[in-house]
Chains A and B, each alone.
Chain A
Amino acid sequence: QVQLQESGPGLVKPSGTLSLTCAVSGGSISSSNWWSWIRQPPGKGLEWIGEIYHSGSTNYNPSLKSRVTISVDKSKNQFSLKLSSVTAADTAVYYCARRYDSSGYWYYWGQGTLVTVSS
């Protein structure tokens, strides 16, 4: 059973960089899957941030692309998110999730981690 676990600071200062890591267990990050980040502001809906394949190929949401970097560390079986120049609007629960290659949906999700942008 694949499990995903997000980790990282719960508080980030405005104009700073949000950094999160998703540890993958129960499966290899080098399998035929895309590894995604999705966020949800408090009381609001879901927003896809971007995804990465183990080869390093990435896809980003155009609305965030200029500020987002997703990377993969195969040796640690994990992938990471960096979001720069954050504002209060980036306060959200951040989820990591797995999408099987050639599918368009996410079956496995992490539990989510709340990141608050505040001074």
Chain B
Amino acid sequence: SYVLTQPPSVSVAPGKTARITCGGNNIGSKSVHWYQQKPGQAPVLVIYYDSDRPSGIPERFSGSNSGNTATLTISRVEAGDEADYYCQVWDSSSDHQVYVFGTGTKVTVL
């Protein structure tokens, strides 16, 4: 089955840039979506199709995807960005079609 690997945690000072990676075999050939999840809440879509932002998501959130790594970048980090972040793809490379989530990254704002 397809595996998406994320760093367990990322720490960043307010105003700085946080980069969250999502590693997968040839992930650059897939569309990657990113979700933000705060404690006790449902996930919120922050990036879809590698780099598109839903309405209402600040421009500080951006995404890229190439080779074996997709990256979510949060610029000018704010305290409210502290949350868990998950990448997600649709994998149709095996006999089955399945939606796969990454292992998740906890972003801590120092």
A residues apposed to B, CB below 8 Å: 36, 45-48, 59, 61-63, 95, 103-107, 109-112
A-B contact pairs, 6 of them (CB 8 A): A46-B35, A48-B99, A62-B1, A104-B99, A107-B45, A109-B44
Of B11-19, B20-28, B65-73, B101-109, the segment with at least 4 beta carbons within 8 Å of chain A is B101-109
Specify which of A47, A61, A106 is in contact with B45 (CB 8 Å cutoff): A106
Cross-chain pair count, CB within 8 angstroms = 49
Q: Is B89 among interface residues, defined by CB-CB distance under 8 A?
A: yes
Can you name the residue of chain B whose Cβ is closest to the Cβ of A65? B96
B residues apposed to A, CB below 8 Å: 1, 31, 33, 35, 41-45, 48-49, 54, 86, 88-90, 96-104
Complex: A48 Cα to B2 Cα, angstroms: 13
Specify which of A48, A59, A105 is in contact with B48 (CB 8 Å cutoff): A105
Contacts of A109 in B (CB 8 A): 42-44
Contacts of B90 in A (CB 8 A): 104
